[in-house]
């Protein structure tokens, strides 16, 4: 399906400069390479939701690829719900940034996107700080809440959604206990990353048992009010979780 650049009466947020931002795809073109390049600009905030993308011809010229590669990339992003293709009007970035982030992260994982690796790296550091501060500041009531979230993880059984929800709740509760509003806000803002991360690794053998064991160690350190141990336990959890994530990407899950 060829996408034209005719104006749309309902959207005036065009992206006339996007073609200038794009650099030619160096190696042999492919749908995934073009999609990755477009996603880089989408997730970097170069294009706002509702923005109309340049026409296929413009994108193909800017990237130095065939229009068929651009068309395939746009179709893939349309399937993922990131781009909406409107026959006779053009391709638009979908509204709803809160729903866009999980899709962007998931697509980035499939493509090995550097931005996703950076997010994982930042999360690892912040989770360690969160656990350390939580161990210093947790009350008995706070520890009880963490125990409850861990118990919900154990009781989830084969319910992957319930397990993921309890896992995320444990981490966000730890951030709240840490008592640093900036840290808590940042971890809440990347909640989508935590969800996509867990969804990606849920089929990896040993994920549930390993995750439970690692959370047990974090909880034990916080319960003991041992900041150093809490930091180490969370660092180990992040190391193992990152390994599971890499295994998921490498295996194509």
Residue whose C-alpha is closest to residue 109's, from 221, 193, 52:
193
**Band (84; pLDDT cuts 50, 70, 90):** confident
Return d(Cα 27, Cα 45) in angstroms, integer: 25
List the structure tokens of 253.
């899950």
Extract the tokens encoding 151: 């118990």
Report CA 47 to chain centroid distance, whole Å.
Answer: 18
Reported as a pLDDT band with limits 50, 70 and 90, residue 104 is low
**What per-residue confidence (pLDDT) applies to 22?**
55
DSSP state of 94: P
pLDDT above 60: residue 111: no
Sign of torsion over alpha carbons 42, 46, 52, 56: negative
pLDDT-derived band of residue 65, with 50, 70 and 90 as boundaries? confident
The pLDDT tens digits for 139-191 are: 999 999 999 999 999 999 888 889 988 998 999 999 999 998 888 877 876 77
Strand partners, 11: 8
Reading the block at residue 139, the tokens are: 């009350």
Of all residues in the chain, the percent with pLDDT exceeding 70 is 70
The count of other CB atoms within 10 Å of the CB of residue 79 is 9
Instruction: Please choose, from the candidates 9, 64, 10, 13, the residue with its C-alpha nearest in 3D space to the C-alpha of residue 37.
Output: 64
Torsion of CA 22, 245, 127, 230, to 10 degrees: -160
The Cα-based distances of 172 to 146, 182, 196 in angstroms read 10, 13, 15
């Amino acid at each position: 399906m060829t996408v034209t650049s005719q104006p749309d009466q309902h959207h005036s947020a065009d992206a006339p400069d996007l073609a200038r931002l794009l650099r030619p795809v160096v190696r042999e073109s492919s749908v995934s390479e073009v999609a990755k390049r477009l996603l880089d600009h989408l997730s970097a905030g170069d294009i706002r939701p509702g923005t109309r993308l340049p026409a296929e011809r413009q994108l193909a010229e800017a990237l130095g690829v065939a229009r068929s590669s651009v068309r395939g990339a746009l179709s893939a992003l349309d399937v993922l719900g990131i781009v909406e293709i409107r026959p006779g009007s053009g391709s638009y970035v979908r509204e709803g940034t809160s729903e866009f982030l999980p899709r962007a992260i998931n697509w980035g994982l499939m493509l090995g996107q550097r931005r996703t690796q950076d997010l994982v790296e930042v999360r690892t550091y912040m989770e360690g700080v969160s656990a350390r501060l939580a161990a210093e500041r947790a009350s008995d009531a706070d520890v009880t809440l963490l125990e409850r979230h861990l118990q919900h993880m154990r009781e989830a059984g084969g319910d992957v959604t319930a397990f993921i929800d309890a896992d995320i709740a444990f981490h966000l509760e730890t951030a709240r206990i840490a008592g640093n509003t900036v840290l808590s806000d940042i971890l809440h803002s990347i909640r989508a990353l935590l969800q996509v991360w867990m969804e990606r690794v849920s089929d990896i053998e040993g994920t549930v048992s390993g995750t439970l064991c690692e959370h047990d160690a974090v909880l034990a350190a916080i319960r003991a009010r041992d900041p150093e141990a809490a930091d180490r336990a969370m660092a180990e959890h992040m190391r193992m979780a990152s390994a599971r994530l890499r295994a998921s990407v490498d295996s194509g899950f």
